[in-house]
Amino acid sequence: MFRPRGARITHMIITTRINEVEITDISDFDLERIFECGQCFRWDADKKGVYTGIAKGAVAQLRRSGDSVFISCGEDDFQTVWYDYFDLSRDYATIRRQLCIDEHMQKATEFGAGIRILRQDKWEALCSFIISQCNNIPRIKKIVDALCRLYGDSIQFGQNEYYTFPKAETLARLCTDDLVQIRCGYRAQYIIDAAKAVASGEIDLESLANSTPQVARAKLKSLRGVGDKVADCAMLFGLHMLDSFPRDVWVKRAVAEYYGPGFDSDVFTPYAGIAQQYIFHHARNGGNKM
């Protein structure tokens, strides 16, 4: 049984086997709600609901059966990649209850129970959300996949080949013509500019993750093509600043409808970002029909 040092252990039971890890009695771990809520772009499900994806240089398949989630990985990958990636030391059930500050959030948290904020690679999150602007999720995923196939490293998993997200140093050496194949349009220059800033150390994502939200937002917005929404998404999903509150069209509509002008996301501190995901999921998936 895996028992991480220093992590807060909840009632969940983690059992490691040769090529699979079983997590039993875990609350708030819904595969579809985690992978389809707009926070990541490298996971796909088959007809049986088995998700396959790649993160931080590792590939895994996830499936749910009864009270257990199964991850196709060995103990080393689970300890070094997936435990942190799925934020397993955090008690989302308690956070969800804390966010029930009004009737709307009561409905939104109930509708979205199972969402977790992934601890994604910081550079991948920034680059992916630069690609995401004025784009829909299927097209974002297509562009990201094409970028990885062109400039990422190959990984064999089962009978299939997967590709890591390209390093900033790799993309920093490109020109816009090199990205014509991925059909990202005007975003090509933004991607390259961001890659150069990260590769050179002008933008230190590790340092920003330990800074204040004000400092991180200002620094990210100094990049061409990065406005409030992209910066807030990079902060929440990449830097794991859980009080960041990205406002896309769905969240803006929900805020206008349920809270009106003058709404301040500080009411959800220190988990405004998690609240935002419940609000987004509820609005985008018809939760108001509950």
The CATH code belonging to domain 13-89 is: 3.30.310.260
Give 108-118 pLDDT, tens digit per residue. Answer: 999 999 999 99
Confidence of residue 289 (pLDDT cuts 50, 70, 90): low
Please give the backbone phi and psi of residue 100, each rounded to the nearest 5 degrees, phi first.
-80, 65
Are the CB atoms for 166 and 147 separated by under 8 Å?
A: yes
Give 140-150 pLDDT, tens digit per residue. Answer: 999 999 999 99
CATH superfamily of 122-237: Hypothetical protein; domain 2 (1.10.340.30)
pTM (two decimals): 0.93
- What are the boundaries of each domain within the chain? 13-89, 122-237
What residue type is assigned to position 70 of the chain?
A: F
Exposure string of 5-37, with b = 16+ CB inside 10 Å and e = fewer, is eeeeebebebebeeebbebeebbbbbbebbbbb
Give 213-240 pLDDT, tens digit per residue. Answer: 999 999 999 999 999 999 999 999 999 9
Give 260-284 pLDDT, tens digit per residue. Answer: 999 999 999 999 999 999 999 999 9
- In whole angstroms, what is the distance from residue 155 CA to residue 207 CA? 29
